[in-house]
């Protein structure tokens, strides 16, 4: 489970920057949506089930969006696995933070400071 947020130009015709929030799903497909630069989405510590809701809400906010029905169907299918996705995400985050904590221990003056 990989969740990302990137600020960039996603329309070659425009110089306008937008935020892209996306998730690489277990089936290998990437699901993402864009937000205006001044509406930066907060995804820090947010589980996949909530990211799916954010993307779905954004999709539904458009008057017209090609492939909306296809993307909403994918979200519905992923939502059936939301508990497992959140569990896998949480386990990966815990392991990531444990590795970071272990890597930082060598910089402590004494082990008692931890």
| pLDDT above 80: residue 111 | no
Asked if pLDDT for residue 113 goes beyond 70, the answer is: no
Name 60's Cβ contacts closer than 8 Å, sequence gap at least 6. 68, 72
Task: Give residue-wise pLDDT tens across range 2-58.
Answer: 899 999 999 889 899 999 999 998 889 999 999 999 999 999 999 999 999 999 999
Strand partners, 33: 21
Which two three-digit tokens encode residue 43? 């995804």
What is the dihedral sign for C-alpha 50, 54, 46, 100? positive
CB 37 within 8 A of CB 17: yes
The mean pLDDT of the chain is 93
The pLDDT of 61-81, averaged and rounded, is 92
Give the Cα separation of 86 and 28 in Å (integer): 17
């Amino acid at each position: 489970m990989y969740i990302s947020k990137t600020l960039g130009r996603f329309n070659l015709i425009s110089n306008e920057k937008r935020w892209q929030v996306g998730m690489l799903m277990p089936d290998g497909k990437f699901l993402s949506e864009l937000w205006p630069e001044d509406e930066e989405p907060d995804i820090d510590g947010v589980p996949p089930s909530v990211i799916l809701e954010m993307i779905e809400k954004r999709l539904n906010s458009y008057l017209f969006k090609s492939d909306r029905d296809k993307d909403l169907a994918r979200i519905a299918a992923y939502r059936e696995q939301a508990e497992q996705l959140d569990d896998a995400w949480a386990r990966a985050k815990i392991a990531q933070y444990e590795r970071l904590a272990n890597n930082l221990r060598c910089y402590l003056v004494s082990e008692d400071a931890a």
